[in-house]
Amino acid sequence: MKYEVLVIGGGGASYPGAFRLSKAGKTVIMADPKGVLGGNCLYQGCIPSKTIREMAELHLRSKRFFANISPNFELIQDHKDKVQEKRFKQHDEEIKENNVEFVKGEVQVTGDKTAKIIGEKEVDVEFNYLILGTGSEPFVPRIPGSEHCITSDDLYKYKTEIRKLPSSMVIIGGGYIALETATIFKALGTEVHVLVRSDKILRSIDQRLVEILKKMIDPEIDIKFNSPVLEVEKNGNELKVTFSQKGEKKEIITEKVVMATGRKPVLPKGFEKLGVKVSQKGVEVDESIRTNIPYVFAPGDVNGISPYFHSAVRQSLVASRNILTGRNTDFVNFSSIPVTVFTIPPIAYVGIITNRDSSVIEASYKFERDSRAQIYDELEGEVRLFFEKGSLRALGGWVAGIDAPSLINEIGYAVHNGLTAKQMAEFADQHPMSNESITNAVRSII
């Protein structure tokens, strides 16, 4: 069958663009092996992990002010599943509303502008444009005994078999998934060890911000640096993790071992027939989300540039607009896309957050002076903003502490639109909310 656009995948990199194209009158077919929209984010990523995270943070706040009640992890997992089900149904309605043909199945590229969908039904597809929104999957290094480990997908996926709170957990890795999982499960009562191969966590983030986070997270989380894992073995009903530290072999006995060692792009079978360039990070695209093959677009995690759902949505829409116009008329400003590490407490950042020369002016405000932080007795952290010297145009910022995932959006909007410190300071952030810390920081330099 002939379609103007084939969309591979059902996540944030796929369906926003598919819906936009269909509304504009294009014939669109979309395929995903899960048979539901939402991608990894909904099925086993952002939504389920943040549902558990919010319950964990609620538990911590409850302990601070009320009786020390033990969390019911099975009930939390049930709630997570219900949230996922609600969103699955919501997406089903959206498919009907947007008149997109959606097929459950794997896509195999068979040639230039041809593919086969193999699933509930087999469909041969000819297309003019391809949106490759296949996302990513956990990267599991070749460590002896890695088959005994689980990944974040196993922890958070829909209807996961893990319904009992682990008494202990070893997490292998030092990235955002490792740190988020560590703080979430420690908040729920799990004994947590984190084994980091190098001497740093969150290596891609400005280390000044990372140092703030390290001081804020629960000190009982055992983070071991320069500790590569050598082997994971069965030890009765538990697991034995052997790692190296300062040239010595050491061991930890634990209930669960979580591999959080990064992610890798998912590419469909036969993808190489398209001639699309792929780097170690992922499929190569420019800011129009177009690959070196003009009719192939690759938004989202599969390109590895900005592997976050909200970024994937923006990239998907950019791809769809450039398909509609037949040329590059829309572009992604990756520097204005906010990023949050959903630890407890969280950190978030956007744009330029380094100050290596005198061309950048910093403005900051400590949460110990913020009314909302005082209300919750969560006084750690700060808001820090970066402005261009002279013009005082917003370049970037970070938030460490209370409400960071929400506050960073206001800062990101300022960066995206090139607002000046004066323009930001003129806005009356609501009291008593943590947003006031942004304008308080800005007003310190004007």
* Per-residue model confidence (pLDDT) at position 121: 80
- Using alpha carbons, select from 341, 300, 325 the residue that is nearest to residue 26: 325
The whole-angstrom separation of Cα 54 and Cα 153 is 18
pLDDT tens string 46-71 = 999 999 999 999 999 999 888 778 99
Q: Is 90 exceeded by the pLDDT of residue 205?
A: yes
Average pLDDT across the chain, whole number: 96
CATH architecture of structural domain 146-261: 3-Layer(bba) Sandwich (3.50)
Taking the CA atoms of 117, 121, 126 and 128 in sequence, report the sign of the dihedral they define.
negative
Question: Which CATH number applies to 2-138+264-334: 3.40.50.2300, 3.50.50.60, 3.30.70.20, 3.90.1150.10?
Answer: 3.50.50.60
* Per-residue model confidence (pLDDT) at position 91: 95
Q: What is the mean pLDDT of residues 9-32?
A: 97
Please determine whether the domains at 146-261 and 345-443 fall in the same fold group of CATH.
no
pLDDT tens string 129-158 = 999 999 999 999 999 999 999 999 999 999
pTM: 0.95
The whole-angstrom separation of Cα 183 and Cα 217 is 7
The whole-angstrom separation of Cα 445 and Cα 392 is 9
Q: 3-state DSSP call for residue 323?
A: helix
* Per-residue model confidence (pLDDT) at position 11: 96
The whole-angstrom separation of Cα 345 and Cα 377 is 12
Q: Where are the domains of the chain?
A: 2-138+264-334, 146-261, 345-443
* Per-residue model confidence (pLDDT) at position 357: 75
Got the DSSP string for 245-261? ETTEEEEEEESEEEE--
pLDDT tens string 361-415 = 999 999 999 999 999 999 999 999 999 999 999 999 999 999 999 999 999 999 9
Q: What are phi and psi of 242, to 5 degrees?
A: -105, 130
Q: Is 90 exceeded by the pLDDT of residue 74?
A: yes
| Domain 345-443 fold | Enolase-like; domain 1 (3.30.390)
Q: What is the mean pLDDT of residues 279-305?
A: 97
The single residue listed with the structure tokens 């911590």 is 60
Give residue 371's identity as a one-letter amino acid code: S
Q: What is the mean pLDDT of residues 251-274?
A: 97
Q: Is 90 exceeded by the pLDDT of residue 351?
A: yes
